[in-house]
Amino acid sequence: MYTIKLFLFIAPLVISSRTDQDDTSLHSISPEPKSRFAMLDDVKILANGLLQLGHGLKDFVHKTKGQINDIFQKLNIFDQSFYDLSLQTNEIKEEEKELRRATSKLQVKNEEVKNMSLELDSKLESLLEEKILLQQKVRYLEDQLTNLIKNQPQIQEHLEVTSLKTLVEQQDNSIKDLLQIVEEQYRQLNQQQSQIKEIENQLRRTGIKESTENSLSSKPRAPRTTPSFHLNETKIVEHDDIPADCTIIYNQGKHTSGIYSIRPSNSQVFNVYCDVKSGSSWTLIQHRRDGSQNFNETWENYKYGFGRLDGEFWLGLEKIYSIVKQSNYILRIELEDWKDKYYTEYSFHLGDHETNYTLHLAEISGNGPKAFPEHKDLMFSTWDHKAKGHFNCPESNSGGWWCHDVCGENNLNGKYSKPKAKAKPERKGGICWKSQDGRLYSIKATKMLIHPSDSENPE
């Protein structure tokens, strides 16, 4: 470009000088012929300028050609990158379709397993009812047989009694088989649910990758897991390092409240909720807070437990007995009404199922009202299982409890009324409960906890 500008500047000067010379020669008094060598100099200057112009144009063309080649190379690289991204996007879409198909199949299997579990539960309930009826018949026949043996010692066992005993044993074996099948179904159901959650997390990650790759960037996302727990989930474990109660779990360094597995001596493994207080951990055996769980249950349910450990529940008399028979324990009752919180601690002894889980206790400390009469043998009763010598409470009145003189009013497992927003605190709702001194309380939440008496007890 500089050469072209120089040429354009020199050419008019040369032409102008030629014109001036011609005019001078025309108006000269004594004209002289133009020198031939001067014209040749002008031509050389013009040719030199044209030559420099040609070199400048040649350099400009080479430079422009190199720039065009660079642009074409960059376009080829961009086309290749775009093609690779489209291939990756198509692969991700295919993987997403496969994951969705697998999810739908697993959901169908999950529904089938749930239906099978419900059928097994209904069969199990019917078998348990038949077992109870047969046991009653067997007891009746055994009583008759005992009377006959007293009168006639040499009499042989009646054929009907023998057949009934055989039938009961067969029913027991069938129930055990069904229980094993139900446990296996629960295990498979949990596996199916975990697989579904894992696939859902993969689908979430796939959606995130697809959206970020469209914007030419990607960030990995780790899947989230949500564990779930069931109160009645029991299993036989071959390891001997499972703690016997929450105190041992706390001593092992686990100082967080939550759900843990324990195995008391001569018992199966089951889950409990360990409530950590200052300096120790208590085993929670009953919890009520909002009335979401119906506590008007049968004797069988109170014996083996019901509800959810992360909500309202009753641990189960058999599980409670398996814990407290290991050592001396303290019973702590925590009550919360609509204004204050109270607690009372008792030293206690709990009998087994043959004694209807008789409770005998004495108060140690606390700032709350008394929940039990002291130094009395209190037998556990439900609406379908009356302790001998106790009066009958109506089915709709309350849940299972260690009753002694009244129905329902001193029962922390009683009916939970829906809270009333504008009512007075003593009539706001919850559990209508009467203490041993006769005062009525409207209880919002309750906890019953146990702890070995030889450990330090926190307030």
pLDDT tens-digit map of 346-377: 999 999 999 999 999 998 999 888 878 888 88
Q: For residue 268, give the nearest of 322, 209, 217, 320 by alpha carbon.
A: 322
**Percent above pLDDT 90 for the chain:** 30
Q: Flag whether pLDDT at 13 surpasses 60.
A: no
Mean pLDDT of 253-272: 93
Q: What are the pLDDT digits (tens) for 242-255?
A: 899 999 999 999 99
Q: Please state whether beta strands 234-235 and 258-262 pair in parallel, antiparallel, or not at all (unpaired).
A: unpaired
| Whole-number Å distance between alpha carbons of 199 and 221 | 14
Q: For residue 286, give the nearest of 247, 317, 254, 324 by alpha carbon.
A: 317
Quick one: 359 exposed, middle or buried, by C-beta within 10 A (0-12, 13-18, 19+)?
buried
Q: Flag whether pLDDT at 25 surpasses 70.
A: no
Q: Considering the chain, what is the average pLDDT of its residues?
A: 78
Whether 354 contacts 341, CB under 8 Å: no
The pTM of the full predicted model, rounded to 2 decimals, is 0.49
Coil/strand/helix, residue 365: strand
Mean pLDDT of 60-76: 90
pLDDT of residue 360: 93
211 or 437: which carries more pLDDT confidence? 437
